[in-house]
Structure 1
Amino acid sequence: MELDSLWVKRDDLTSQLYGGNKLRKLEFILADAKRKGYDSVMTRGGIGSNFCVANATICNKLGLLPVAALVDQPINPIVKKNLLINLYYKNELYYIRKGSRAKWLKLWLNLKKRNIYYMLTPGGSVPLGTLGYVNAELELKNQIDKNNIPEPDYIFVACGSAGTVAGLALGLKLAEIKAKIIAVQVSLFIGYEGTVKLAYDTRDMMFKFDKSVPEVKIDNIIFETDYFGEGYAKPTDEGLAAMELIKKTQKMELESTYTGKTLAALIGFANQKHNSIKEKTILFWNTFNSRDFSEILKKMKYKDFLKIFTGFSKNELVAPDVNFIRKI
């Protein structure tokens, strides 16, 4: 791979508490929770969900109680680490057994009806959370205007729950930047149409508060589906190779669920279109958290924690009745 102008947007360093794309969404969402007087914030995701960990981390800082409804996903070291961080921050967890999505939805709807918790969708991908990435794109515009970075022709970013991509797409239009977003599929949660709709919904929300927000046409997203592999959180050979390459050359850590697959797509794109894009500016948007939790993890008694769960080696979780987690 040879490119004349390849850049990285280091969202892994967005906060001293927790890096990655989650913080930009939570900035507006948790402010809304505080404004409305909630003292508990509930989200949902896989057992290794980075968003659930980010929510727990920031809720702890803001004096809010974090709550999460978790479903199965393939076990890897990051999943285990995130479960330990959840334990440290006293994240109140509901565990929904594999194949029990109907129970998950029933729990979610019942709790929402009771109005106990401020309820977050997976990844915080609602217009209010997506606003964080409109803001991020305007931040990039400011960096371009200051000549910190040339205006990109292509932006590569992971697309899971779609809030990041939708916000960037809208932000590009508002900032009048002509770049195309290569949205790399990493989950089955949402597709192209849902991503575009979220961008328009976010624009409409902004217009309610500021009538000067112009109408835009969201036509700057290219959905890349060839690097998804066998499923969510399942590593691919290309993704692992990309992670190793950037670690070796740039001393930068990625992970296999989101950013590894995204960088693999960038490499594949560059190799395939070598002659036509060699002189283009490409931006890799790093959405991973690179903040170090080693001191927190040292405080956790891993053997005690493992007593809560069995079946890690079988990629299943079976939880006994303990206070830390509620079975469903």
Structure 2
Amino acid sequence: MASFAAAFASVPRLGLIEGPTPLVPAPELAAQLGVATLHLKRDDLFPELHGGTKVRKLDVLLAEDAFRHAKAWVVAGAVGSGQVAAVVAAGKQQSRPVHAHLFRTPLGEHSAENLAFTASWAASVTAYRNQVDLAVRAPRVVLALPMASGIVVPIGATSPRSMLGCVLAGMELAEQLQAADGPPADAVYLPCGSGGTAAGLAVGLALAGIDIPVRAVMVVDRFFSPDMRLWRLVRQAELEVRRLGLTPRPCKLELRRGFVGPGYAQPTPAALKGAANLLELGIAGEAVYTGKALAGLAADAAAGLTRNPVFWVTVRRPGLEPQEGWLERLPPGLAALARASGSVSPPPATRRNLLLGFAAAATLVGAARLTGYDGPGGEVLSSWELAVVRAAGEALLPNISAAGLDALPGRVDRYLLSFPTSLRVEVHALFFAVEQSLPFAVGFHRFTALSPADRLLALERIAALGGPGLLIARSIRDLVLLAWYQAPEAWPDIGYEGPMVSAASRPSVYDALKAPVGWVPFSEAP
């Protein structure tokens, strides 16, 4: 370990990590889960920034020159994000203004605390309806591109360099496991959002010679954290380790899906039970991350997949102290959400009712006309729905190329593959409302039959109706723009220059297996 410590000594840090966090046995919880032994890695006991594993990544990330010398930091997350609260706490400690960009999710007690703290100490708070709205209205924040207001903290504080903080955490755990009494641990469980913590831990454990899997329980939808992203993060962490003069070893990272429930930040019964179990031990038992991760461990224990697990407590300590008047610092919509944050039940399906109701009204005013469209349907959308996407793109993006316009419907269709059935119902209602509800706007015409200028006018008039009309106009706009920003020809509009490293030049673990140019199999040698 001494050689490892010397190598990592060259990594600049803020000094937020003064020593290892405890690894403690939890025999009562082990009995409840039906495992032989259970150890808890208590990152909630970090003294700095109110604790939590985010401290490990921020310790490295915020020590980089770009962040040290920035006039302000910009951070994005859910409305009750622990990461946003941690960055705001770091900004408060380092006398750096922090601009928070928050998208709406349900609020529980723990996340409401985060929101109150963020509102108290952030220099500004900007609200968004959901993750898509954030991506469309503030793409530079999502892509962590430079902004006039400051430097952007990447989503989850995850960057190739910041993951070194989690590699060190994996090595720290390895040392504790080697000194622990009792049966050896057989797996490490933790919640996984952006993926940087899990990837770094897996690389660190392997580097220290601990051959057990890190089982990352996914708490976000697959679309926002696909398997490919997690393995890319592993390769990036390994590359950073190589830059320190060390040789990484093959690591074991396993993804556990199926515990997100209705959606991100919406608790499940199993997550609420897990959170309650942790509360009995004096640990902040929030159900969005920690509870769902413990539910994943419980499912594996019931299936006989683990007998001696380690559970990594990534959450911060309770007890954040907001300033008086913090509600007045929030945008009105978030303030209303905070006032009603006593319940952790999923929000009512108002959006679906609005869309379906408006579509039904359109059917009553004018007959549903869904024939006569050319071309095949997609994986999710029918041929007429693909035609609506193309027509909307032609109206909303007047400078789009013909090739870009042709590709737009397919991009929306592929994006919708990641949607659960309940959300797809809403999307189908949305397209029906756009195509058929023109009697409310410009007369009895299909949306796709209008000229691009009249389509734009129709959307403006639908939006002017307010309520469901505004929802419909914004939703079709957001879908079209989200698909458009995937196209390379759109990147100059948002200041994105494309991938910094070409696919051909990315390092791969398989490079060492390639035969030199000109070599032939022995069976074919002369």
Range class of TM-score, shorter chain: 0.7 to 0.9
Question: Which moves more between the two structures, 171-180 or 16-25?
Answer: 16-25
Matching of residue 122 in structure 1 with residue 155 in structure 2? yes
Which residue number corresponds to residue 71 of structure 1? 103
SS of the residue aligned with 1:129? Answer: coil
Residues 1:283 and 1:106: Cα distance change in structure 2 (over 3 Å): closer
Whether the 8 Å CA contact 1:12–1:289 is kept in 2: the answer is yes
Matching of residue 268 in structure 1 with residue 299 in structure 2? yes
User: How many Å separate the matches in 1 of 2:63 and 2:261?
Assistant: 37
Which residue number corresponds to residue 456 of structure 2? none
Which residue number corresponds to residue 134 of structure 1? 167
SS of the residue aligned with 1:244? Answer: helix
Alignment of 1:43-122 (within 5 A): 43-98=75-130, 99-108=132-141, 112-114=145-147, 116-122=149-155
**TM-score scaled by length of structure 2:** 0.54
Matching of residue 252 in structure 1 with residue 278 in structure 2? no
Question: Which moves more between the two structures, 37-46 or 140-149?
Answer: 140-149
Matching of residue 19 in structure 1 with residue 51 in structure 2? yes
Residues 1:215 and 1:17: Cα distance change in structure 2 (over 3 Å): closer
Which residue number corresponds to residue 441 of structure 2? none
Q: Which amino acid aligns with 1:4?
A: A
Which residue number corresponds to residue 326 of structure 1? none
Residues 1:270 and 1:66: Cα distance change in structure 2 (over 3 Å): same
More RCO (CA 8 Å, sep 6+): 1
Residues 1:120 and 1:303: Cα distance change in structure 2 (over 3 Å): closer
Question: Which moves more between the two structures, 12-21 or 118-127?
Answer: 12-21
User: How many Å separate the matches in 2 of 1:148 and 1:65?
Assistant: 46
Which residue number corresponds to residue 232 of structure 2? 197
User: How many Å separate the matches in 2 of 1:307 and 1:180?
Assistant: 43
User: How many Å separate the matches in 2 of 1:233 and 1:80?
Assistant: 12
Q: Which amino acid aligns with 1:117?
A: G
Whether the 8 Å CA contact 2:146–2:152 is kept in 1: the answer is no
The CA deviation at 1:108 is 2.8
Question: Which moves more between the two structures, 161-170 or 144-153?
Answer: 144-153
Matching of residue 228 in structure 1 with residue 260 in structure 2? yes
SS of the residue aligned with 1:100? Answer: helix
Which residue number corresponds to residue 474 of structure 2? none
The CA deviation at 1:107 is 4.8
Q: Which has the higher strand share?
A: 1
SS of the residue aligned with 1:158? Answer: strand
User: How many Å separate the matches in 1 of 2:96 and 2:331?
Assistant: 27
Structure 2, unmatched stretches of 5+, are: 1-32, 341-346, 351-526
SS of the residue aligned with 2:162? Answer: helix
User: How many Å separate the matches in 2 of 1:167 and 1:235?
Assistant: 26
Which residue number corresponds to residue 324 of structure 1? none
Residues 1:119 and 1:150: Cα distance change in structure 2 (over 3 Å): farther
Which residue number corresponds to residue 323 of structure 1? none
Matching of residue 28 in structure 1 with residue 55 in structure 2? no
Match of 2:310 among 248, 273, 283: 283
Which residue number corresponds to residue 191 of structure 2? 158
Number of residue equivalences: 305
Same amino acid, percent of matched pairs: 25
Q: Which amino acid aligns with 1:20?
A: G
Residues 1:146 and 1:34: Cα distance change in structure 2 (over 3 Å): farther
Structure 1, unmatched stretches of 5+, are: 317-328
SS of the residue aligned with 1:31? Answer: coil
The CA deviation at 1:137 is 0.9
**TM-score scaled by length of structure 1:** 0.84
Root-mean-square deviation over aligned CA pairs: 2.6
Residues 1:111 and 1:253: Cα distance change in structure 2 (over 3 Å): closer
Question: Which moves more between the two structures, 128-137 or 76-85?
Answer: 76-85
Where do 4+ consecutive residues of structure 1 move more than 4 Å? 33-36, 113-116, 148-151, 302-307, 313-316
User: How many Å separate the matches in 2 of 1:224 and 1:66?
Assistant: 34
Deviations 1:35-89 (A, max 9, x none): 7521311111111111111000011101211122221212333333222101221
Question: Which moves more between the two structures, 116-125 or 24-33?
Answer: 116-125
Whether the 8 Å CA contact 1:55–1:66 is kept in 2: the answer is yes
Residues 1:111 and 1:135: Cα distance change in structure 2 (over 3 Å): closer
Whether the 8 Å CA contact 1:33–1:118 is kept in 2: the answer is no
SS of the residue aligned with 2:63? Answer: helix
Structure number with larger C-alpha Rg: 2
